[in-house]
Amino acid sequence: MQMKRYCLALDLKDDPDLIAEYENYHKNVWPEIIESIKQSGIEVLDIYRTGNRMFMIIEANDNFSLQKKAATDTANPKVQEWENLMWKFQKALPWAKPGEKWILMDKIFSLPEETEVRIQNSED
């Protein structure tokens, strides 16, 4: 089964103490949040940070959709509590719409896809 991959970005407030506190929360994510992630169809979720910029990679099965996850999260009081707490540390990217946090990134290059295109072009 081919997994779907989503890559998202978000900034943290540029404060070393807040960034350290944010990372500490992510060393012990609440079990209800982990369960919510798994139930949505997400099978892999990694968050990377450089400076105050974060990058999240999600790999999800065919049951997952960003819209369904957003609706389920909105209806889950514990997820809302977590999101409100995390907002203390986070700040929207400059191009985010009002209320938008993690921004879906556009894929602009893929080595396997680029290699396939070059092979196909050389065969033509």
Mean pLDDT of the chain: 93
Confidence of residue 123 (pLDDT cuts 50, 70, 90): low
The b/e string for 36-52 (b: 16+ C-beta within 10 A; e otherwise) is bbeebbbeebeeebeeb
The b/e string for 74-103 (b: 16+ C-beta within 10 A; e otherwise) is eebeebeebeeebeebbebeeeeeeeeebb
Non-local CB neighbours of 33 within 8 Å, separated by 6+ positions: 78, 79, 82
Q: pLDDT per residue over 23-67, tens digit each? A: 999 999 999 999 999 999 999 999 999 999 999 999 999 999 999
> Superfamily assignment of 4-123 in CATH?
Dimeric alpha+beta barrel. (3.30.70.1090)
- The Cα-based distances of 17 to 14, 89, 94, 102, 119 in angstroms read 9, 10, 22, 21, 50
Residue type, 80: Q
Measured from the Cβ of residue 31, the count of other Cβ atoms closer than 10 Å reads 9
- 8 Å CB contact between 48 and 55: yes
Residue type, 119: I
Residue type, 104: L
Pairwise pLDDT comparison (40 vs 115), residue with the higher score? 40
